[in-house]
């Protein structure tokens, strides 16, 4: 198995080859306006062992709302695949998505900062 596919599978526990590209995840996603490519296209890149997926913004725009996961006719947890793609980057030495020291902790509620820290930092 290709390394990208292997890592996504290991982290997410999902079999990306289950996806048959129906696009239901992308149809339900509320954040596609901000995404470089649609969620089902992101999965296609993983299936095609295309590492450029790690440089596009789609997994980072995902807000983990789980609409895609609830609606996938193949039972794939699409949000978990997006998380795996984020995790692969987050686990790289030296990769920084957010510097929490620069976040305005006076203004934002604790719940938002903790959530962002969980999703965007190691």
Partner 1 sequence: MIIMEVLYYPGCSLRNTYPEFEKSTYEACEKLGIELVEIPEWSCCGVVPSLATDNVMRHLGAVRSFINAQKKGREIGTNVIVVLCSMCYNVLKRVNLILKEEPDTLENVNSFIDDQPDYVPDLRVTHFLTFLKETGFENLEEKVNKPLKGLKVAPYYGCALLRPDRPEGVPIDNPDNPVILESFVRSIGAEPVHFPFRAECCGNYHIVLEPGIVEMRTRKIIGSAKSVKADLILSPCPLCTYNLGRGNESLDKSEQVPVVFFTQLLALALGGKSYLPTEIEDQILKKIGGEKSD
| 112 lies in the binding site for partner 1 (CB under 8 A) | yes
| 66 lies in the binding site for partner 1 (CB under 8 A) | yes
Interface with partner 1 (CB under 8 A), residue total 37
The CA radius of gyration of the chain, in Å to the nearest whole number, is 15
**Residue with Cβ nearer partner 1 (44 or 103):** 103
Give the number of other CB atoms < 10 A from CB of residue 73: 11
The encoded tokens of residue 1 equal 């198995």
Nearest to 14 by CA among 87, 92, 119, 90: 87
What's the rounded Cα separation, in Å, for the pair 24 and 90?
28
Q: SS3 for 66? A: coil
| 84 lies in the binding site for partner 1 (CB under 8 A) | yes
| 80 lies in the binding site for partner 1 (CB under 8 A) | yes
Look-up of token digits 């999902």: 14
> Minimal distance in Å, beta carbon 66 to partner 1?
4
The encoded tokens of residue 81 equal 């695949």
List 44, 63, 74, 89, residue binding partner 1 (CB under 8 A): 63
> Minimal distance in Å, beta carbon 6 to partner 1?
12
| 87 lies in the binding site for partner 1 (CB under 8 A) | yes
Residues that bind partner 1 (CB under 8 A): 10-13, 30-31, 33-34, 61, 63-67, 69-70, 77, 79-80, 83-84, 87, 97-98, 103, 108-116, 118-120
């Amino acid at each position: 198995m290709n390394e990208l596919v292997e890592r996504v599978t290991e982290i997410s526990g999902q079999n990306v080859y289950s996806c048959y590209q129906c696009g239901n995840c992308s149809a339900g996603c509320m954040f596609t306006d901000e995404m470089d490519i649609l969620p089902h296209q992101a999965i296609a890149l993983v299936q095609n062992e295309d590492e450029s997926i790690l440089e596009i913004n789609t997994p980072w725009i995902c807000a983990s709302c789980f609409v895609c996961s609830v609606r996938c006719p193949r039972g794939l947890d699409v949000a978990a695949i997006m998380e795996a793609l984020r995790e692969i980057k987050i686990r790289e030495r030296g990769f920084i998505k957010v510097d929490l020291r620069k976040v305005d902790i006076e203004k934002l509620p604790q719940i938002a900062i903790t959530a962002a820290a969980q999703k965007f930092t190691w």
